[in-house]
Amino acid sequence: MLQYTIRGENLEVTDSIKEYVEKKVGKLERYFDTPPSSEVHVNLSVYNDEQTIEVTIPMKNLLLRAEEHNADLYAAIDLVVDKLERQIRKHKTKVNRKFRQEGAPKYVFAELEREAQQAVETEDSDFDVEIVKTKRFDLKPMDSEEAALQMDMLGHNFFVFTNANTDETNIVYKRRDGRYGLIET
């Protein structure tokens, strides 16, 4: 049974919004043989007329998380549920493929959680992440303002540099709101 924690930032979570979220996210239960007993963390926010919904469903051995932005809150909710469904189907397909290759009978999604636990226990990160390009470059000492200018000039969303003041590796990045952020290591 899914239990919901729905929080609003810069907006009031009305009963109709709460019911809509629970109805839409609740449809994910159909992918499980037995309904998962998990808490669903939903964060709704409004910033500059853009609605954002973040949904996190931590299960015993599997973490589902998705985020969507849209001018319409209900559309954002629909889109985030679509993302979660794609995540579930992707994991289900991957697990089914693995067990078919091993000659096992058809695998049901409820056992995905058990498989994920084994992967966590052995720290096996078998998520088909493929690095397709590697870049090497020297980090030029500069201040964060110069790094932001370099990033803009290159047309990138982030820029790695050596901070001339601290001699540490830093990252400057462009935020969704158009401003800049700095990550210090």
- What CATH number is attached to the domain comprising 148? 3.30.505.50
Report how many helices (DSSP H) and strands (DSSP E) the chain contains, helices first.
4, 8
What's the confidence (pLDDT) of residue 44? 93
What's the confidence (pLDDT) of residue 94? 66
Domain that holds residue 42: 2-121
Residues 6+ apart with CB under 8 A from 45: 8, 9, 10, 11, 51, 52
- Tell me, yes or no, whether 95 and 178 share the same domain: no
Total domains in the fold of the chain: 2
What's the confidence (pLDDT) of residue 140? 78
134 inside domain? no
- Tell me, yes or no, whether 35 and 92 share the same domain: yes
Which of 90, 3, 10, 72 lies closest to 42, judged by CA? Answer: 3
131 inside domain? no
Alpha-carbon gap, residue 130 to 19, rounded angstroms: 40
Q: What is the pTM of this model?
A: 0.53
What's the confidence (pLDDT) of residue 82? 92
CA 111 to each of CA 17, 96, 143: distance values in angstroms, whole numbers, following the listed order: 32, 10, 51
What's the confidence (pLDDT) of residue 73? 92
- Tell me, yes or no, whether 77 and 168 share the same domain: no
What's the confidence (pLDDT) of residue 108? 43
91 inside domain? yes
The stretches in the chain having pLDDT less than 70 are 33-36, 60-62, 94-128
